[in-house]
Amino acid sequence: MSDSNLRALERRFHASGSVEDESAWLRARVQAGELEQSKLEWAAYCGHKAARWALGESAPTVDRDPSIFAATLTKWGRDTAIRSLLAT
């Protein structure tokens, strides 16, 4: 995907604010190598709607048990887990 196409998707998302447009932009960023797949998965695990939409059926299952949720966050690294927990 060209840089101009990525920017067009970004502009469309910012104009509409829709989950669908953000999801399309996120998928395009992953395909272009601008966003790591693992970061999209982390965002989906943390409940980001557009990230979950972008991943569809492959979105990670979110465990509502706080201890399991916290333990699973370590999949994305210790620092990411700590920052994620502090942000909640």
Kindly report, residue by residue over 17-54, the tens digit of the pLDDT. 999 999 999 999 999 999 999 999 999 999 999 999 99
**What count of Cα atoms within 13 Å lies in the side-chain half-sphere of residue 33?**
1
Arithmetic mean of pLDDT over the chain = 94
Q: Please give the model's pTM, rounded to 2 decimal places.
A: 0.88
pLDDT attached to residue 2: 83
User: What is the full DSSP assignment across 35-80?
Assistant: S-HHHHHHHHHTT-HHHHHHHGGGSPPPP-SHHHHHHHHGGG-HHH
Whether 85 has a pLDDT exceeding 80, the answer reads: yes
